[in-house]
């Protein structure tokens, strides 16, 4: 075999060193840095999930608190409360009962432990003062009764009066009748 001269030995040593450095980087350094990048990415994803969970937890607590306050208001309301009779009473007190063209209860929408009852009511030829008095009596946060929709038009037969169509809603506990 031929002996390598100094220059060739140096070239082989540099080449061998380059191969060792290449192997070192390829199989040790790069996998470690890739692993760190993947770990950092997973960590960011987990942090995002935790933040979303906190937001959902806050939302849940808010809904649970609101649900609790609704349950408290419902417990304070008389047990035989009905939206239909409540509106008839309010109409009588505000002197618009004789102006009721129709009152139609609508289907209830049920969500979890609560349901929403609706009554559509049409008043004909009422004065603005009568309407305001009726609205003040009918809409009641304590009774969980509110106006969902209102349409007001001038009455064409009696000057200075209005025709009003109202959609009034009430919240009640599921399983109880609140519209009849």
Of 107, 112, 96, 83, the residue nearest 173 (C-alpha): 112
Residue 83 near residue 119 (C-beta atoms within 8 A): yes
pLDDT digits 0-9 by tens, 31-81 = 888 888 888 899 999 999 999 999 999 988 887 676 557 677 777 777 778
Which residues are registered as beta bridge partners of 170?
A: 117, 145
Of 41, 98, 92, 78, the residue nearest 178 (C-alpha): 78
pLDDT digits 0-9 by tens, 120-177 = 999 999 999 999 999 998 888 777 888 989 999 998 888 888 999 999 998 877 665 4
Residue 91 CB contacts under 8 Å (≥ 6 apart), including other chains: 97, 99, 100, 134, 138
**What's the pTM value of the predicted model, to 2 decimals?**
0.55
């Amino acid at each position: 075999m031929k002996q390598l001269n100094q220059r060739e030995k140096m070239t082989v040593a540099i080449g061998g060193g380059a191969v060792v450095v290449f192997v070192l980087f390829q199989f040790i350094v790069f996998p470690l840095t890739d692993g760190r990048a993947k770990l950092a990415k997973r960590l960011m994803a987990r942090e995002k999930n935790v933040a979303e969970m906190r937001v959902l937890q806050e939302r849940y607590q808010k809904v649970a608190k609101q649900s609790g306050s609704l349950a408290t208001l419902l417990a304070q309301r008389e047990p035989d409360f009905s939206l239909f009779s409540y509106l008839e009473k309010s109409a009588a007190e505000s002197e618009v009962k004789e102006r009721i063209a129709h009152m139609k209860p609508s289907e209830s929408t049920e969500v979890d432990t609560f349901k929403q009852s609706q009554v559509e009511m049409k008043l004909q030829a009422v004065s603005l003062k009568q309407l305001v008095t009726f609205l003040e009596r009918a809409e009641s946060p304590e009774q969980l009764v509110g106006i969902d929709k209102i349409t007001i038009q001038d009455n064409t037969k009696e000057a200075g009066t209005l025709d009003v169509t109202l959609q009034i809603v009430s919240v009640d506990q599921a399983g109880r009748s609140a519209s009849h």
